[in-house]
Amino acid sequence: MKISIITITFNSEKTIEDTIKSVLSQRYSEIEYIIIDGGSTDDTLEICNRYKYGIAKIISESDSGISDAFNKGISYATGEVIGILNSDDMFAENVLNHVSMKINKETDVFYGNGMRLLPNGDSRQYNALPLNRLYDCMALVHPSVFIRKVSYEKYGNFNLDFKMCMDRELLLRMLTSGAKFQYTDKVLSIYRMGGASDLNYVNKVLPEKRKISVMYGMVGWKAMLFYIRDWLYVKIRGL
């Protein structure tokens, strides 16, 4: 089974090499690795080109944001299953072999747990939450999610209206439309804290979280309570 891995980048010279190495070191032969760069002006592309031997496509051009870059990568992917690994994330060891062996034929979305890499160098495991939590938060670990190509074709790609919470909206759309989810109790990815979502949490993430909750049936006052709760948490923690 061919598995396509998509990495989107923009000025990621500090982390992209770790990401690439984590893909190329997988003990799995049927990998199609695609890098979608948004027109980096640092050494990101130079680093990517060092590993061209293991990368099927490197596309560098301007885009309309994260969702657009994800969708571009999906359009190039020819694998039966697609994983998205951002340029500050890494796969755990031998993950793709695990996915290929464990994913059921009827599964649309295969997902597992993640390991948070904190700025001080410490790590902390973060497990996926119950699927019904998608109605109020991003319950899954996005780099630990693998979706069949035909499922994107059936349920749609990332919504360009969302700049930060597009992954949650996509998964919630699939869940409410009848997609089959399969969980594995295994750490599939390691992801650094402090990425785009963390840096834009109050100004961009929280409004989108609330909008998505209402879109999928949550009453407005309840969505506002979740918004206030998350806002207070951030302010109290000084994040």
Residue type at position 5: I
- Which domain does 129 fall in, by range? 3-195
Same domain, 56 and 159: yes
Give CA 121 to chain center in angstroms.
21
Same domain, 121 and 51: yes
Same domain, 98 and 211: no
Same domain, 134 and 207: no
Q: What b/e string do you get for 66-75 counting C-beta neighbours within 10 Å, with b at 16 or more?
A: bbbbbbbbbe
Same domain, 90 and 39: yes
DSSP 138-191: --S-GGGEEEEHHHHHHH----TT-SSSHHHHHHHHHHHTTPPEEEEEEEEEEE
Q: What is the CATH number of the domain that holds 38?
A: 3.90.550.10
Same domain, 223 and 169: no
Same domain, 124 and 182: yes
Calculate Rg over the CA atoms of the chain. Answer: 17
How is residue 218 annotated by DSSP? -
- The number of folded domains in the chain is 2
**pTM (predicted TM-score):** 0.93
Same domain, 7 and 21: yes
Same domain, 146 and 59: yes
Same domain, 185 and 108: yes
Tens-level pLDDT at each residue, the chain (239 residues): 999 999 999 999 999 999 999 999 999 999 999 999 999 999 999 999 999 999 999 999 999 899 999 999 999 999 999 999 999 999 999 999 999 999 999 999 999 999 998 877 788 999 999 999 999 999 999 999 999 999 999 999 999 999 999 999 999 999 999 999 999 999 999 998 765 555 567 778 899 999 999 999 989 888 888 888 888 877 676 55
Same domain, 151 and 207: no
Same domain, 151 and 51: yes
